[in-house]
Amino acid sequence: MSGKVQGVFFRGATRQQALSLGLAGWARNLPDGRVEVVASGEEVQMRALCDWLQVGPPHAQVIEVVCEPAEMGSLSGFEIR
């Protein structure tokens, strides 16, 4: 995600949203001010997370979200990196 996504509890809110959807993965801040989210789960829940990421938590100003499939190993839980 790009926009005002750091310093607004984006990673923590993403973790809460992902866990509520039954998804596993992680979220981390990138040096250029973006946030990267990697998640694994059922397609319907993944689409719901992608929709939520378009808005994010209060105080976030999301400009762009890129949701794309990726090959990942087995993930469990959802962590903030």
Per-residue pLDDT at 68 exceeds 90: no
* Amino acid 23: pLDDT: 95
Give the residue numbers marked as catalytic: 11, 29
DSSP one-letter code for 9: S
pLDDT at 70 (0 to 100): 75
Q: Is 71 helix (H, G, I), strand (E, B) or coil?
A: coil
**What integer is the mean pLDDT of 38-61?**
95
Strands 78-80 and 2-4: unpaired
**Is pLDDT of 13 > 90?**
yes
Residue 64 has pLDDT above 80, yes or no: yes
Q: Which domains does the chain have, with CATH numbers?
A: 2-80 (3.30.70.100)
| Burial grade of 3 (CB within 10 A; 0-12, 13-18, 19 or more) | middle
The reported pLDDT for the residue numbered 49 is 97
